Amino acid sequence: MRVNFTVNGRPQEADDVWEGESLLYVLRERLGLPGSKNACEQGECGSCTVRLDGVPVCSCLVAAGQVEGREVVTVEGLAEYAKQRAEGGCATGACGTSLDEAKSWQAKGSDSQTGEGTELSPVQQAFIDAGAVQCGFCTPGLLVAADEMLERNPNPTDADIREALSGNLCRCTGYEKIMDAVRLAAARQSEGV
Amino acid sequence: MDFLRPASWEEALAAKAEHPTAVPIAGGTDVMVEINFDHRRPEYLLDLNRIGDLYEWEVGEDTVRLGASVPYTKIMENLRAELPGLALASHTVASPQIRNRGGVGGNLGTASPAGDAHPALLAAGAEVEVASAARGTRLIPIDEFYTGVKRNALQPDELIRAVRIQKADGPQQYSKVGTRNAMVIAVCAFGLALHPRTRTVRTGIGSAAPTPVRAKAAEEFLNAALAEGGFWDNGKIITPSVAKQFADLCSAACNPIDDVRGTASYRRHAVGVMARRTLTWTWESYRGARRATEGAA
Amino acid sequence: MPANGAPTKITQGYRTKGGIGESTLRPDGTLKVTGEFAYSSDMWHEDMLWGQILRSTVAHAEIVSIDTSEALAMPGVYAVMTYDDLPTEVKNYGLEIQDTPVLAHGKVRHHGEPVAIVAADHPETARRAAAKIKVDYKELPVITDEASATAPDAILVHENRDDHHAGHVPHPNIVHRQPIVRGNVEEARKRADVIVEGEYTFGMQDQAFLGPESGLAVPEEDGGVHLYIATQWLHSDLRQIAPVLGLPEEKVRMTLAGVGGAFGGREDLSMQIHACLLALRTGKPVKIVYNRFESFFGHVHRHPAKLYYEHGATRDGKLTHMKCRIVLDGGAYASASPAVVGNASSLSVGPYVIDDVDIEAIALYTNNPPCGAMRGFGAVQACFAYEAQMDKLAKKLGMDPVEFRQLNAMEQGTIMPTGQPVDSPAPVAELLRRVKAMPLPPERQWESSEGADVRQLPGGLSNTTHGEGVVRGIGYAVGIKNVGFSEGFDDYSTAKVRMEVVGGEPVATVHTAMAEVGQGGVTVHAQIARTELGVTQVTIHPADTQVGSAGSTSASRQTYVTGGAVKNACELVREKVLEIGRRKFGSYHPAWATAELLLEGGKVVTDGGEVLGDLADVLEGEVVEVEEEWRHRPTEAFDLRTGQGNGHVQYSFAAHRAVVEVDTELGLVKVIELACAQDVGKALNPLSVVGQIQGGTTQGLGVAVMEEIIVDPKTAKVRNPSFTDYLIPTILDTPTIPVDVLELADEHAPYGLRGIGEAPTLSSTPAVLAAIRNATGLELNRTPVRPEHLTGTA
């Protein structure tokens, strides 16, 4: 079957999709967006978290056909999404992002080897600065979840952070530096840095 | 595999009538796991995401008509006063991501004894609103809905439209034991609702029998004990012996198995502990509300 | 054509200037937070096929027949291969003992053993084809424990063993046995005023790395194959893969793809050979990605163990003797079992002084899932048991458990049971003092003005208690882990370092085959190069087999060994650079000839700080490159009868204090805090060090209260191969983990550093168990401890 939907503000079309494919598979294998991760494919780890019409969901549990006509934001589009939100724009993309604008997350003038020079969202930068990234496989899902929590709750308590991220498993860090990163992002955000 | 995308409830019922083996998919939190792990290859997937009615709820005089696909997150956020037991149960469902997608219709459709919503529905009192193209709508009392392990009273051509849940007229509680502090399937669960209007107590037990069940003997015992002692009127503390007997009867209502999540013996024990605690919490809340009312009067 | 997502060089430029000792940030951090870092499962190639493995549905059976015809006939299927299709006489692989069939031959020995492989144009086509392969099994009785393995009439898991352990084991179903005898336990026992005995059970833990086993094999024009793979040790993989393919090692090119965690689970091969076989058979690139279910069958686990301990002590608290027997279940194939036996036996005494010991460790062959390397590697199981024994002894003596441990703590100079002296700092008593001195978390943190915050209580969001039944407990533990490969293994690494001028700037390139699995080795290598070569810009070349072996990313060894190799290569490069400088500029300043020269801040400077010139000028028109192997001090094998020998390179120590709150009625545990103190010798990157300690601590917490692969004792089948039923800690299960880092240099190691990755995984588990015992008064002789164990309902 064919599926048309919007990813990071950009219209996408996937063809010859097998009806049992998940949104995760379509993103990773058909649209060249492997940032959302395939760690468990059973909704028990959060590594594939994306925003579907603004709501964080496990993309492994969304059937590809279910996203027809809908808006998806993945980790690849997170920086742009956060930027538009900070600028008071329409972060969902529903209010008409032009194709060229939408492509800008791909065509940034960064160092292709390290990504240096890439514009990052506050939560992405905080994960790097706080040492919250080790193997990094859980990171994309955590970033999408953490960014959404900070959108709803700009001044979270530790218990709020833990609850909001309780659907995202990390096996490397013991979560301490992830807590640090989210606190750091919240603090920077409230200082307007 | 075919993917059916009905745009309306009528179309969905027609599709289900035409393809009774079609597997409805809404939040996908059960169905997609089975597909991803190659446990299931349905001939048809029937997508319910485009049917807006399923995502709405109506608060009526006595009941809440809760659309089958209203996500657990919405129940937690919006129906805490009307459906406190179900709101608490919703908060124990898996993870935030899953709560954003899954709804009570999925729990009912799957009818796993471990579904988190069941004990809350049993305790509150509810009817499942199902429909078919051929026969229209019918209401199935929640006590008659669960017919076996992962089996329910739905006919092959029927879909779950909503669940009509009694609005809380007294305190409700919900507890679930899992071996992790979040994102865990119930080892066992317990729901309790006080119904001061009818001066009754209702219970629900999850994951401790082939189907979700009520502890009816425990309810009858407690109803009688509360009536006999004039507790509903005098608001006295429930005596430990009454609480203990209630808990024992709740344990006795279980018919659990040993599995990788826990032993049968533990499940019986834990249901008893949860029964005692939730009774204490709800009764204390009832007494508090009563005192507040008296104080105001 | 390179595979899409193939790693490119990582250059870290001017934003960070840090050398060793600074918390520089990861060079791959930006790629990892933007989703652009290419993990092995992200690899993609035009026209690629998907591989699928058919695994046995039973644990022990003869294969009567395999019929692949229906699968082969399916549209979209390009190849189906079984044992009969293997191209050479080499049909087995293995880390030490080549006992693992690439595809089952006549027999399967464990649940989930690979039987056939399929390549097709879509993963679903491959799955459907695999499902159409008909395998007729004739089931055999299963060997599941020591009794069934060593019964007189026991079926042999492997007939006709000819490996180098076969000759000395007491039964063919024992992979390896290592006794250690020192002093005289019978005599020493007479001095004991108290004796405690214990029988302990350690459950089967899974590494549960989040990135599933995956990779992409691309056939090459010269008849070879290029494999992009997530592994812990490229060259070990290569050594096992090439002979099965019938290719010389040069024709099997391997590049490390992004690795989503490892923890020991990628030391053995998983889908490597299968992907290469299918790629060579079909002439097309083949990608294989396990799902989580398959991942539980696709790698070895931590050995479950039974441990029998006896300790004695005098009335004033001095340990007199220790006797122990450790039985590790190695499962169906050897994997790393022999080395795990060596570790378990040689570290079974813990970080304590006991002169009279009688130790035996064995690993069994059974039909359970194969077990091998996991963080802590044999030392974890022992630590769980000996620390329980320490608490029992202290209790029996009426002593404080920390003081009792401190009284018996080893120190520099202590002789290990193997006869090996501990020849670097061993601050065991000090680490215990430090964790004990940390402030305790406040009581009843769940109380708030709005009632109980269930998120802070046992049961968490499940709302099981509002404080009822909750009792706090505190427990301590300390452990000892070896660093590096032991027992005479030639444990070397190789580094290639290049220096040149690029765009007017001196740049160093570091090329090793070290597998970056998340630990931060790439960060540290750049720091070492900056410190040694005085450059800001360091390029980390992707890890591949175009450079010599780096050894495994395991055994807490990479910062020591590959870090040592990088340091060494940098020093050699520096000498060459200085030679060039002397040649070019020596006549301008006498110090070129006379002074000790360093490279700092892009300049050549004297040890007195005088600047002699710019590195850019020295290197103008020159390229300096050195590739060199580097070795730590050699070790010796343990004597097979007495266990004597200088078997280990270095030891690593950590101590934990656990604070738990237990709902004693429901048997639910919330760990409130896990404080850790660890000696790291020298923290090359303090931020990474703390991250490693917190991560290791949390894996120890997991196996204390929730993580266990449950194998049915009747069928030897795995009952919970999913993240629904194999639970690892969430952020709500994980407490604050304050870390106190001690830096006492080991003079034998580069920069005085100590391997750090594993030690925190050891003591975390017994500390949590001790705290739960403290809260409940229960004996608790197994881990993980589940609610039924705490409520008498097991």
pLDDT digits (tens, 9 = 90+) for C623-643: 999 999 999 999 999 999 999
* Chain B residues closer than 8 Å to C793 by CB: 263, 265-266, 268-269
How many domains is chain C built from? 3
Q: What is the DSSP letter of C154?
A: P
- The answer to whether residue B2 sits within a structural domain is no
Q: What is the CATH number of the domain that holds C93?
A: 3.90.1170.50
Q: Give the separation between CA C382 and CA C378, rounded to whole angstroms.
A: 7
In terms of phi and psi (left: phi > 0; alpha: psi -120 to 50; beta: otherwise), the region of C419 is left
What's the whole-number mean pLDDT along residues B232-246?
A: 96
Contact B252, B244 (CB under 8 A): no
Q: How far is A25 from chain B (nearest CA, A)?
A: 10
Same domain, C621 and C734: no
B with C: how many residue pairs have Cβ under 8 Å apart?
102
Domain boundaries, chain A: 3-103, 122-191
List C-alpha distances in Å: B56 to B106, B127, C22, C386. Answer: 15, 17, 55, 59
Same domain, C223 and C128: yes
- Decide if pLDDT at B293 tops 90: no
| Helix and strand numbers, DSSP H then E, in chain B | 12, 13
Contact C258, C38 (CB under 8 A): yes
What's the whole-number mean pLDDT along residues C383-388?
A: 98
CA A81 to chain centre: 9
Q: Does C666 touch chain B (CB under 8 A)?
A: yes
Could A163 and B182 be called an inter-chain contact, meaning their C-beta atoms sit closer than 8 Å? yes
Q: Does C518 touch chain A (CB under 8 A)?
A: yes
Q: What is the pLDDT of residues C235-286, one digit of tens each?
A: 999 999 999 999 999 999 999 999 999 999 999 999 999 999 999 999 999 9
What pLDDT is stored for residue A88 in this prediction?
A: 82
Same domain, C568 and C689: no
How many domains is chain B built from? 1
What's the whole-number mean pLDDT along residues B117-136?
A: 98
* Chain B residues closer than 8 Å to A63 by CB: 3, 25, 28, 31-32, 35, 45, 47
What's the whole-number mean pLDDT along residues C31-53?
A: 97
**Residue entry with tokens 């975390």:** C764
Of C442, C426, C440, C422, the closest CA to residue C476 belongs to: C440
What pLDDT is stored for residue C629 in this prediction?
A: 98
Residues 119-178 of A with CB under 8 A from C: 120, 124-125, 127-129, 131, 133-140, 143, 159, 161-163, 165-178
What pLDDT is stored for residue B292 in this prediction?
A: 82
Q: Give the separation between CA A180 and CA A177, rounded to whole angstroms.
A: 5
- Decide if pLDDT at C26 tops 70: yes
- Decide if pLDDT at C390 tops 90: yes
* Chain C residues closer than 8 Å to B92 by CB: 461-463
Type and span of the H or E element at C186: helix C185-191
Q: Are strands B44-47 and B23-25 parallel, antiparallel or unpaired?
A: parallel
- The answer to whether residue B5 sits within a structural domain is no
**CA neighbours within 13 Å on the CB side: how many for A46?**
30
**Residues from B in contact with C at Cβ < 8 Å:** 36-38, 88, 91-92, 173-187, 260-263, 265-266, 268-270, 273-274, 277, 280-281
Q: What is the pLDDT of residues C661-684, one digit of tens each?
A: 999 999 999 999 999 999 999 999
Same domain, C425 and C445: yes
What's the whole-number mean pLDDT along residues C462-484?
A: 98
Contact C478, C428 (CB under 8 A): yes
Q: Considering CB atoms only, which of A38, A116, A140 is closest to C30?
A: A116
How many C-beta atoms surround the C-beta of residue B157 within 10 A? 19
- Decide if pLDDT at C315 tops 80: yes
What's the whole-number mean pLDDT along residues C381-391?
A: 98
How many C-beta atoms surround the C-beta of residue C88 within 10 A? 11
Q: Does C546 touch chain B (CB under 8 A)?
A: no
* Single-letter code of the amino acid located at A91: A
- The answer to whether residue B256 sits within a structural domain is yes
Q: How far is B194 from chain C (nearest CA, A)?
A: 18
Which residues lie closer than 8 Å to C258 by C-beta, 6 or more apart? A136, C7, C37, C38, C39, C40, C42, C211, C230
Q: What is the CATH number of the domain that holds C584?
A: 3.30.365.10
Q: What is the pLDDT of residues C212-240, one digit of tens each?
A: 999 999 999 999 999 999 999 999 999 99
Q: Give the separation between CA B48 and CA B192, rounded to whole angstroms.
A: 31
Same domain, C598 and C660: no
User: Cα dihedral sign for C29, C33, C39, C43?
Assistant: negative
A117 phi and psi angles, rounded to 5 deg: 95, -10
* Single-letter code of the amino acid located at C467: G
Type and span of the H or E element at C394: helix C379-397
Contact C321, C185 (CB under 8 A): yes
Which residues lie closer than 8 Å to A156 by C-beta, 6 or more apart? A149, A150, A164, A182, A186
**Strand partners of residue C571:** none
What pLDDT is stored for residue C281 in this prediction?
A: 98
| Helix and strand numbers, DSSP H then E, in chain A | 7, 5
* Chain A residues closer than 8 Å to C462 by CB: none
Q: Give the separation between CA B42 and CA C363, rounded to whole angstroms.
A: 45
Type and span of the H or E element at A111: none
- The answer to whether residue C511 sits within a structural domain is yes
What pLDDT is stored for residue A93 in this prediction?
A: 44
**Residues from A in contact with B at Cβ < 8 Å:** 1, 18-20, 22, 41-44, 46, 49, 55-58, 60-63, 65-66, 68, 145, 163-164, 166-168
Q: Considering CB atoms only, which of C461, C705, C794 is closest to B182?
A: C461
In which domain, by residue range, is B219 found?
175-296
Q: What is the pLDDT of residues C414-452, one digit of tens each?
A: 999 999 999 999 999 999 999 999 999 999 999 988 889
Cis peptide before C417 (omega within 30 of 0): no
Classify A3-103 by CATH class: alpha beta
In terms of phi and psi (left: phi > 0; alpha: psi -120 to 50; beta: otherwise), the region of C744 is beta
- Decide if pLDDT at C294 tops 60: yes
End position of a domain, from candidates C597, C631, C665? C631
> Which tokens is C676 given?
């850790």
**Residues from B in contact with A at Cβ < 8 Å:** 1-3, 5, 25, 27-29, 31-33, 35-37, 41, 45, 47, 49, 94-98, 100-101, 181-183
- The answer to whether residue B285 sits within a structural domain is yes
- The answer to whether residue B259 sits within a structural domain is yes
Same domain, C115 and C225: yes
What pLDDT is stored for residue A118 in this prediction?
A: 81
Same domain, C610 and C496: yes
Q: Collect the ranges in chain A with pLDDT lower than 50.
A: 92-110
Q: What is the DSSP letter of A28?
A: I
Of C66, C466, C254, C172, the closest CA to residue B175 belongs to: C466
Whether this model's ipTM surpasses 0.85 comes out as yes
Give me the helices (H) in chain B, please. Answer: 9-18, 31-36, 72-78, 84-91, 96-99, 104-110, 117-124, 142-145, 216-228, 231-234, 240-252, 264-296
How many C-beta atoms surround the C-beta of residue C621 within 10 A? 8
pTM score: 0.96
In terms of phi and psi (left: phi > 0; alpha: psi -120 to 50; beta: otherwise), the region of C478 is beta
- The answer to whether residue B203 sits within a structural domain is yes
Which residues lie closer than 8 Å to B280 by C-beta, 6 or more apart? B238, B243, C468
**Strand partners of residue C364:** C174, C329
What pLDDT is stored for residue C4 in this prediction?
A: 64
In which domain, by residue range, is C720 found?
380-482+649-790
**Residue entry with tokens 């953490």:** A146
Mean pLDDT of chain C: 96
> Which tokens is C572 given?
């050699």
3-state secondary structure at position B128: strand
User: Cα dihedral sign for C635, C639, C645, C650?
Assistant: positive
What's the whole-number mean pLDDT along residues B152-158?
A: 98
Q: Considering CB atoms only, which of C460, C665, C710 is closest to B273?
A: C665
Which residues lie closer than 8 Å to C209 by C-beta, 6 or more apart? A135, A137, A171, C260, C261, C262, C263, C265, C266
- The answer to whether residue B186 sits within a structural domain is yes
Could C725 and B261 be called an inter-chain contact, meaning their C-beta atoms sit closer than 8 Å? yes
Which of the four pLDDT bands, split at 50, 70 and 90, describes residue B290?
A: confident
Q: Give the separation between CA B215 and CA B205, rounded to whole angstroms.
A: 7
3-state secondary structure at position C584: helix
Q: Per CATH, which fold does A122-191 belong to? A: DNA polymerase; domain 1 (1.10.150)
What pLDDT is stored for residue C74 in this prediction?
A: 98
Q: Give the separation between CA C604 and CA C68, rounded to whole angstroms.
A: 68
C630 phi and psi angles, rounded to 5 deg: -140, 140
Of C134, C156, C131, the closest CA to residue C143 belongs to: C156
- Decide if pLDDT at C10 tops 70: no
List C-alpha distances in Å: C613 to C205, C581, C731. Answer: 56, 9, 53
**Residue entry with tokens 């520099």:** C412
